Each structure stands twice: as structure tokens, then as C-alpha cells.
A and B are shown apart, each in its own frame.
Chain A
Amino acid sequence: MTTTVSASPFAGLDAERFATHLAQRSYLPAWWIAAKQEAWNEFTSLPMPSRTDENWRFANLSGISLDHYAVPEEPSSRVPHLPNFPHASEIIFSNRQVVGRTGLSQELADQGVIFAPLDEALRDHGDLVRRYFQQHPVNLGGEKFIALNVAFAACGTFLYVPKGVKVDQPFVAQHTVTGEHQSVFPHTIVAIEDGAEASLVEFFVSGDQAAHLASGVNDLHAGQNAQLTYIGAQNWSPDTLSFQANSIHAGRDAQVQCLNVHLGGRQARHESHSRLAGPGAHCDMLALTVANGAQEFDQRTLQTHQAPHTTSDLLYKNALMDTAKTIFSGLIVVDPEAQHTDAYQTNRNLLLSDKAEANSLPGLEIQANDVKCSHGSTSGRVPAEQEFYLQSRGIDPAKAHELIVFGFFEEVLAKLANEHLHAVLSELIKSKFKQS
């Protein structure tokens, strides 16, 4: 008698699935395969976060179970359209595979610019990728999920801009996940060399409303006097569990601007670590979150000033509705040699519901004696007189809240130099109000 076992179309996050993933990449550099193997070992050996872990204070730990998720083998045709705005080049991923791409202009290619899917970049520019891969990892509690990312990373982009090359229009990547319990692991590496300028915009979207898992990692490097702008716009399905770790490394006189917009997901954790490594380096760390329903957004940040005359400015704004919850935990660390540091950290929460919960844990750790540092957090309801004023002009309460939230966010959006991106992000944020 024969028994037919109907195989699940997708395998879970297990050793067998990892072995298949690795076997498909035997053509990639040995160091990469070794890094993946090491990451897999780390993922399996690290415990899940526990109640006593300070890095996970206030977080809903029962929500981050990784059981039942699978790693997709095939792309899906359900891929939302990329917002329409001028850009240098785009790469679209669906379920970890490239499904759309526009090439670089000849001019950029001739200048040595590389914008490629990670696997391709590893195949063609392995040593260059290695120079920037996980050089400055994030250690804010999500190490297990970063290890999972590295183990399964395939989708993600490598953006390399050589010395002195300035690219006006942004590079764009879209990561899409589709299908019940499917997962994606975008790993993005950006290297803007000395005196170069470029920006990258990443959209994280679901092709359907199913439950997904996403664990993304970014390694962002700005060389001496380089300008790097990074925008991550996360709009996963409402049932997605999301982790993201951003690492920013700013060299001497580098200017980095990093904005993350958080809209989607059931529970989304975002860790961001900026290292101001060279004198004169500056980093803007910005985030906008619209939390509704029972969503939880958990943001952990670290600004490390390692060199003198460095500046950083963090502004995280959360708008909370319904029974949503946000956590902001931030720390500024000023090393003893980082004199004349200016570092700011501000978290503002706008509560549009009595049942929403905003937690804020700002912190400073200063070892230099000639610095300017400040941190602050505020949480408040929509002022009643603002609400009535808008209503007295015929605007209904829901639209009045939307306007007030946009007004609250404008301080951050106004920092974007690219007006097309300002419009694209505004539209994206608006779409969340249309759903609810």
C-alpha cells in the first residue's frame, strides 16, 4: 500500500528550508555562504526575547512568535503599483524574487554606479558588497531576527555610488509579500562613497491582506562629505509581523537623512542605530507612524557619537487611534572623545483615542563634558479647540483628525528636500485614513 503525502507548497523556517535556500546559491561567494550558515546557527541558538529583557520592555511578546511562517519559493503576480514619481532606477521584488526592474542610465553606469538585486551584486561585485555587509550591526534586542534575515536574505538591493558621483533622483526598491503566512527578508546595502550624493526609497507592501512575516535589515554607509538620504515606507498588510533593523554609519562631514514611515502590520518593531563616526558628521533620524486598530509599533533607537563636532537630530512622531500602542525607546551615547556634540532626541505622540497607549523611554549617556544634548517626549490629545474649529467649518470629525495628524506630521515631511517624495508619502499616509 502506498501513502501519498501531500507536501505543503511552502516550507517553514526550518533547517530543511534553509538548506534548500543555501543550495540554490552555491554560485555565490564562499564568504557569503559562510555568513548565511553562521547566521542560521545564530538564529537557531538565540532565545526568543523574554519578559526580563529591557530591550523588549512594554512589547507584546506573545505576538512575535515565528511559528507557522513559511519561506516562499515562487513570486506572486499580485504586486501593487509603485507610486508614480521621478526616479533614477527601480527594482521590484515579489516573494523574494525580482519581478520588475528598470536599468540604470548609461551615464550612471559609466560613472560606476551599481544598483542591483542583492544576489546579482554578490555574484558580480562580491568583494565590494562584503566591504559594507553588516560592518556595524544593530544590537538593540532584535539580533535573532537580524540573523534570520541574513540566513534567508535574497531580495534586497545593493546601491553603490562611487566617489564624487551625485545622483539627483532617488533609487527605488519595492518589497512585496503575498500569500498566507509567507515571509520576506529584505537586506539592503547602501554605500555612498566620499563626496557622493544619492537617495534610496524602499516601499514595503503586501500583495494581499493575509498574515505575513517580514524581517528586514539595512546597512547604510555615508563616506566622507557624502550625502545619503534613506526613506523606508512600511505599509504591510494589517496582519503582518514585521521587524526592521537600520544601521547608519556616517563618516567625516557626512550628511545622512533617514525617514521611516510606519503604517502597516499587526505588530512592527523597528530598530535604528546611527553611528556618527567622523568629525562633522550629521544624521537626521525621522519617523512617522499612524497606528490604528490594535496595532503595535515598537521603535528602539541609538545615536552614538564617536567623533567630535558631530550632530544628530531624532524626531519620531506617532499618531495613535483606537486601541493602538506605540513604544519609543531611545538612547543617545556620547563617547569621551566626542566633544562638541549636538544631539537631540524627541518623541511626540498625538493621541486620537482614549484607549490608545503611547510609551516613551528617552535616555542619555554622556561621557564627554562639552556637549549639547537634549531629549524629550510629549504625549497629548488633540486640542479640543482645534477640533471644534475645523468642525465649525463643516469638516467632519474623521477628516478633522486627518488634517490635524497631517499638520502634526508636516514638521517632519517638510524636512524632505524632494517635493515629489513629500507628495508620495502624504498620499501613502492618506491611504491609511481611507481604509479606516
Chain B
Amino acid sequence: MKSLEIRDLTVALTASPEQPIVKGLSLTINTGEVHAIMGPNGTGKSTLSKAIAGHPDYQITGGDVLIDGESILEMEPDERARAGIFLAFQYPAEIPGVSIANFLRAAEQARLAEGENVDAAAYYKRLYAKMDDLKIDRKFTARSVNEGFSGGEKKRCEILQMAMLEPTFALMDETDSGLDIDALKVVAEGVNRLRGERLGVMMITHYQRLLDYIIPDFVHVMYDGRIVKSGDKSLALEMEAKGYDWVKEELATASA
């Protein structure tokens, strides 16, 4: 078992480091576990996932992020990825002229030792199998990464990358946003297939809907840069029923 430990983390925009967005958040995710992080908009959920992946727009101003006790904060984004972190983007970038096949091959190549090369035949066999699983047309391999993709295609492409790169910890940033119910089911099925002993998932979502298809082991409610409530999947249902205002009121009562 491996662990991703977020320890008393504070994060701000690199442009305004004195205004924290994530304000002392602690959470440990072990492989084999799926943690859902719910919360209203603007509460720091996306910031948390991007900061862990090393996005240059965000600055970690306090606390630490550790994989199996080793801090990853000194690592560049590509090193963090090779250390096992995978960020599934809410809005994946379009890269004109770079085919999905070449892009994923470069990502696989980056994980090999100097002098080793990706076995092209085995690579394509694996890629096509994963594409079939995710109901992605094989012709997609020749298309430029995310360019002209629909919302659903972009999200499926993110899950395809996750399936190919086999990360230890996946940070899924609003993977359900912009998906119709059919696309949501395909994406959820893809994630469920990847679940298991060797993967820990942090799943950020604004809506309970996704959790009908990907059943979390733990649910955390994030509010104003912190986790204010944790529980099991029943917490998500409670949130759905009572709304986020309930948390705000409860917090107000507690601090009064």
C-alpha cells in the first residue's frame, strides 16, 4: 500500500501569494481508496488538485505533500507525474498537430530508463484495447490531442491516458462536468475498471450525480479552503438532500 499525504496545506495563486485559497488542508489517500471531495464553487477544490500536480499558477505557501513519507514539493510537474501523480483536467488543453498516439508514446517513453524504447507493437495493442474499453474510435489515435473534441471526448481521452499511464494517485478534477448521462456512464465505467489495490483516487465533484456511478469509500466536504466534514458515501446523499447551505449554517452555529 502507498499513501499520498496532504499535510496542513496552504495554497495561493502565484500572482497573489498573500491570499490563500486552500487554508490548511489535511488528507491522506491510500491506494485502494476512492475519496470524493465535494463542495460549493470557489472553495478551492480545483486549486488543491492543480497545486499537488505542480501547476505553475499556484504556489504552495505552507504545509507539505508526501508520497510514502517523501515530500514531492521540490519536484517539477513532470517528475511528480513520473512519481505516480495523475491530474485528470477539468479543461484539458488542446495541442495542435500532436497526435494522441505520439503524445501517449512520449509519455510512456518518459517513464523508461535511458536507452530503453517503447515497444511499438505492444504499445499499440495495449492502446487499442484501452480505447475499445472506453468506446473511443481507434481513428482517434491520429487526431491532435483534444483538438476539436467534444466535452465527452475530452474526458474519455483523460481516462484513456490514466488507463495507459497507470498512476498511483489520480486527482480527478470535476471529471463529470459537461458530460451528459451517457458520457458520464462511460467515464465512470472507465474509472471503476481502474479502481483497485494499486490506485488511490481523489475525485473532485460539485455534484452528487457522479457518486451514483463511482461509489466513494470516503466523502469530504470542502468549504472555504478546508475540509469541514468527512464521512462515508451517505454524507454525499445527505449533502444532496440538504444542500451546501446546511454546511455553512452548521459551521456558523459551531463558531458562534
List residues of A whose CB falls within 8 A of some B CB: 383-386, 388-397, 399-400, 403-404, 406-411
Are A383 and B97 in contact, CB atoms less than 8 angstroms apart? no
Are A391 and B98 in contact, CB atoms less than 8 angstroms apart? no
Distance in angstroms between the alpha carbons of A409 and B95 in the assembled complex? 12
A10 to chain B, nearest CB (A): 42
Residues of B within 8 A of A388 (CB): 55-56, 77, 93
Distance in angstroms between the alpha carbons of A411 and B102 in the assembled complex? 16
Are B95 and A403 in contact, CB atoms less than 8 angstroms apart? yes
Distance in angstroms between the alpha carbons of A394 and B81 in the assembled complex? 5
Q: Determine which of B77, B94, B102 lies in contact with A392 in the assembled complex, contact meaning CB atoms within 8 Å.
A: B77
Residues of B within 8 A of A395 (CB): 78, 106-107, 110
Most chain B C-beta atoms within 10 Å of own C-beta, residue among A386, A394, A410: A394
Q: Determine which of B78, B94, B102 lies in contact with A394 in the assembled complex, contact meaning CB atoms within 8 Å.
A: B78
Are B96 and A393 in contact, CB atoms less than 8 angstroms apart? no
Distance in angstroms between the alpha carbons of A396 and B76 in the assembled complex? 9
Are B107 and A393 in contact, CB atoms less than 8 angstroms apart? yes
Residues of B within 8 A of A391 (CB): 54, 76-78, 81
Are A406 and B95 in contact, CB atoms less than 8 angstroms apart? no
Residues of B within 8 A of A383 (CB): 93
Are B81 and A389 in contact, CB atoms less than 8 angstroms apart? no
B87 to chain A, nearest CB (A): 5
Residues of B within 8 A of A399 (CB): 106, 110
Please give me the residue from chain B that is nearest to A409 by CB atom: B97
Please give me the residue from chain A that is nearest to B83 by CB atom: A394
Are B53 and A392 in contact, CB atoms less than 8 angstroms apart? yes
Distance in angstroms between the alpha carbons of A129 and B107 in the assembled complex? 52
Distance in angstroms between the alpha carbons of A99 and B87 in the assembled complex? 55
Distance in angstroms between the alpha carbons of A407 and B96 in the assembled complex? 6
Distance in angstroms between the alpha carbons of A397 and B53 in the assembled complex? 15
Please give me the residue from chain A that is nearest to B85 by CB atom: A392
Bin chain B's interface residue count. Answer: 20 to 34
Are A404 and B98 in contact, CB atoms less than 8 angstroms apart? yes
Residues of A within 8 A of B93 (CB): 383, 385-386, 388-389
Please give me the residue from chain A that is nearest to B77 by CB atom: A391
Query: Dominant SS at the A interface?
Result: helix
Residues of B within 8 A of A386 (CB): 93-95
B165 at the interface (CB under 8 A from A): yes
Q: Determine which of B89, B97, B165 lies in contact with A410 in the assembled complex, contact meaning CB atoms within 8 Å.
A: B97
B48 to chain A, nearest CB (A): 15
Please give me the residue from chain B that is nearest to A414 by CB atom: B97
Are B78 and A389 in contact, CB atoms less than 8 angstroms apart? no
A409 to chain B, nearest CB (A): 7
A427 to chain B, nearest CB (A): 14
Distance in angstroms between the alpha carbons of A389 and B106 in the assembled complex? 13
Distance in angstroms between the alpha carbons of A427 and B113 in the assembled complex? 22
Residues of B within 8 A of A400 (CB): 78
Distance in angstroms between the alpha carbons of A173 and B78 in the assembled complex? 42
Residues of A within 8 A of B94 (CB): 386
B206 at the interface (CB under 8 A from A): no
Are B56 and A384 in contact, CB atoms less than 8 angstroms apart? yes
Are A389 and B161 in contact, CB atoms less than 8 angstroms apart? no
Please give me the residue from chain A that is nearest to B161 by CB atom: A393
Residues of A within 8 A of B89 (CB): 389, 392
Distance in angstroms between the alpha carbons of A389 and B161 in the assembled complex? 12
Are A396 and B95 in contact, CB atoms less than 8 angstroms apart? no
30 A-B Cβ contacts within 8 A? A383-B93, A384-B57, A386-B93, A386-B95, A388-B56, A389-B92, A389-B93, A391-B54, A392-B53, A392-B77, A392-B81, A392-B87, A393-B78, A393-B86, A393-B104, A393-B110, A393-B161, A394-B110, A394-B111, A395-B107, A396-B110, A399-B110, A403-B103, A403-B106, A404-B95, A407-B95, A407-B98, A409-B97, A410-B97, A410-B144
B185 at the interface (CB under 8 A from A): no
Please give me the residue from chain B that is nearest to A394 by CB atom: B81
Residues of B within 8 A of A408 (CB): 96-97
Q: Find residues 129-176 in chain B having any chain A CB closer than 8 Å to their own CB.
A: 144-145, 161, 165
A390 to chain B, nearest CB (A): 7
Q: Determine which of A396, A397, A406 lies in contact with B97 in the assembled complex, contact meaning CB atoms within 8 Å.
A: A406
Are B81 and A393 in contact, CB atoms less than 8 angstroms apart? yes
Please give me the residue from chain B that is nearest to A383 by CB atom: B93
Contacts A392-B77, A394-B110, A394-B165 known; 7 new A-B pairs at CB < 8 A: A388-B93, A391-B78, A392-B89, A394-B82, A395-B106, A395-B107, A406-B98
Residues of B within 8 A of A403 (CB): 95, 98, 102-103, 106
Distance in angstroms between the alpha carbons of A408 and B147 in the assembled complex? 13
Most chain A C-beta atoms within 10 Å of own C-beta, residue among B81, B82, B111: B81
B86 to chain A, nearest CB (A): 8
Q: Determine which of A393, A404, A411 lies in contact with B165 in the assembled complex, contact meaning CB atoms within 8 Å.
A: A393
Most chain A C-beta atoms within 10 Å of own C-beta, residue among B54, B56, B95, B145: B95
Q: Determine which of B56, B86, B95, B144 lies in contact with A390 in the assembled complex, contact meaning CB atoms within 8 Å.
A: B95
B28 to chain A, nearest CB (A): 22
Residues of B within 8 A of A385 (CB): 93
Residues of A within 8 A of B78 (CB): 391-397, 400
Please give me the residue from chain A that is nearest to B88 by CB atom: A392
Distance in angstroms between the alpha carbons of A409 and B96 in the assembled complex? 10
Most chain A C-beta atoms within 10 Å of own C-beta, residue among B57, B78, B89, B107: B78
Please give me the residue from chain A that is nearest to B167 by CB atom: A394
B88 to chain A, nearest CB (A): 10
Distance in angstroms between the alpha carbons of A111 and B165 in the assembled complex? 55
Please give me the residue from chain A that is nearest to B82 by CB atom: A394
A150 to chain B, nearest CB (A): 40
Residues of A within 8 A of B145 (CB): 389
Residues of A within 8 A of B107 (CB): 393-395
A140 to chain B, nearest CB (A): 30
Residues of B within 8 A of A407 (CB): 95-98, 144
A389 to chain B, nearest CB (A): 4
Residues of B within 8 A of A406 (CB): 97-98, 102
Distance in angstroms between the alpha carbons of A427 and B81 in the assembled complex? 27
Distance in angstroms between the alpha carbons of A396 and B111 in the assembled complex? 10
Are A411 and B97 in contact, CB atoms less than 8 angstroms apart? yes
A125 to chain B, nearest CB (A): 43
Residues of A within 8 A of B87 (CB): 392
B135 to chain A, nearest CB (A): 22
